[in-house]
Amino acid sequence: MRLSRYFLPVLRETPAEAQIASHRLMLRAGMIKQAAAGIYSWLPLGYRVLRNIERIVHEEQQRAGHIPLLMPTLQPADLWRESGRYDAYGPEMLRIRDRHDRDMLYGPTNEELITDIFRSHVSSYKDLPLTLYHIQWKFRDEVRPRFGVMRGREFLMKDGYNFDLTREDALHAYNRHLVSYLRTYERMGLQAIPMRADSGPIGGDDTHEFLVLAETGESEVFYDSAITDLKFGSRAIDYDSHAECRAVLEEFTSRYARTDETHDPALFEQIPEERRRVARGIEVGQIFYFGTKYSEPMGATVQGPDGKAVPVHMGSHGIGVSRLAGALIEANHDERGIIWPREVAPFHVGIVNVKQGDAAADAACEGLEAALGKAGLEVLYDDREERAGAKFATMDLIGLPHRITVGPRGLDKGVVELTDRRTGESEEIKPELVAERLTQG
């Protein structure tokens, strides 16, 4: 992509309304634009990041055997009357009436809609287990939308729903989600710690929130510091194995880690003092087991092996896809801007031509752009008639993992400069070796 032909509305000034780094940087880097309180347009650079987050979420969901579908954002109120949540949900729900005076709502979550799909089409235990998920916009009329996409009113969520014959199978689905979430966040370069939490309006007994530690997080958390040493890594796991998934759950939730809603000071004090931590965290996901809370009132039953109809056991599982864009920046930035982990970066590498219009520099940049593209890398080439300093500042701000600086002085020696955004380290390298270097490992 040539920057001169792209749409990257970078802001020079720090926007006054932004209180935290990620919000500030997303606005300054031209990733988002507020449309109304808590409602954002995703500009091209931000949209690329959002798509990358979605891609990882889709891949990891499907690796765990979950099936994608797409449900609408608007839902009929009647389904929520069946579950009893229509009145219970309160003012966070955006209620709409259509021209025929039918009560509708913009979905804050989809337990009712998916249960309706299930009961219409599944009637035998032989079709279980089943987990369906989608990535779709939600609306919650939050009292205090803030921090940009972190607490939006309209926000993108991955929400999945499992249907199982028995409580034991549904708990396996819960454990399987815990494992797949650990993998998902780690792939994005984030450590998200599962913490025992409160189930709120979704309901149920068992629930864990996944929190990314950050000073600007909205939740207060209490944990044993030993938990931060746990790494899921890329270990192979059989998602169908109850024992393997349970073992991971036990490994990652044996130590004390709780949000303020479930914090138990007496238990906390049993941890050696030097390991006790009180900190803040960003909630990037939550998993629930709620048994027959929806299936019973809504009549989502299957015929069991003995021929009797039984309500299915369910759970739901959410990842804050749009919030993750903010959380990733909170965890990865410095005073000059964003530092994207490679897997979610909007482009892998930026090319800065320090002397636009110089025949040799232009030709070298174009050659690099073509070679890197051919090697499967996504390239942003800053070909604007701009001062080198301004180009460097833009690259630092938008945080691409690698920068290649091309100028006549280097080219005279047959080299360009390759800079790592995170470490700031630079090396001189022959242009023809760059693609190989960046695709190794």
CB neighbour list of residue 221: distance below 8 Å, 6 or more residues apart: 193, 195, 211, 213, 257, 258, 259, 260, 277, 278, 279, 280, 281
Q: Which of 131, 184, 316, 353 binds ligand P5A (CB under 6 A)?
A: 316
Q: Does 289 bind ligand P5A (CB under 6 A)?
A: no
169: contact with ligand P5A by CB under 6 A: no
- Cis preceding linkage at 297, omega within 30: no
Give how many residues touch ligand P5A by CB under 6 A.
20
Residue of the chain from 85, 140, 172, 208 that contacts ligand P5A (CB under 6 A):
140
* Nearest 10 degrees: Cα torsion 296, 297, 300, 304: 30
* Rounded Cα distance, 191 and 308, in Å: 45
- Note whether 85 binds ligand P5A by CB under 6 A: no
Closest to ligand P5A by CB, 219 vs 225, is 219
131 or 322: whose CB is closer to ligand P5A? 322
Output the residue with the shortest Cβ distance to ligand P5A: 320
Query: Which position among 318, 350, 399, 401 is part of the footprint of ligand P5A (CB under 6 A)?
Result: 318
Indicate the residue among 293 and 348 with the shorter CB distance to ligand P5A.
Answer: 293
Contact 106, 94 (CB under 8 A): yes
Binding flag, residue 112, ligand P5A (CB under 6 A): no
Residues 399-421, buried b or exposed e (16+ Cβ, 10 A)? bbbbbbbbbeebbeeebbbbbeb
Considering only residues 54, 82, 103, 142, which one is a binding residue for ligand P5A as defined by CB under 6 A?
Answer: 142
What is the Cα gyration radius of the chain?
24
For the chain, the straight-line distance linking the first and the last C-alpha, in angstroms and rounded, comes to: 24
Subset of 259-288 contacting ligand P5A (CB under 6 A): 283-286, 288
DSSP 37: T
Give CA–CA dist 219/285, Å, rounded: 13
Contact between 79 and ligand P5A per CB under 6 A: no
Q: Kind and range of the H or E element at 385? A: none
- Residue 305 Cβ, how far from ligand P5A at the closest point, in Å? 29
Residue 176 found at the interface with ligand P5A (CB under 6 A)? no
Binding mask 320-349 for ligand P5A (x = CB under 6 A): x-xx--------------------------
- Give residues 179-218 in contact with ligand P5A (rule: CB under 6 A): 202
The dihedral over CA atoms of 364, 366, 368, 374, expressed in degrees to the nearest 10, equals: -150
What residues line the site for ligand P5A (CB under 6 A)? 109, 140, 142, 151-152, 155, 157, 159, 202, 283-286, 288, 316-318, 320, 322-323
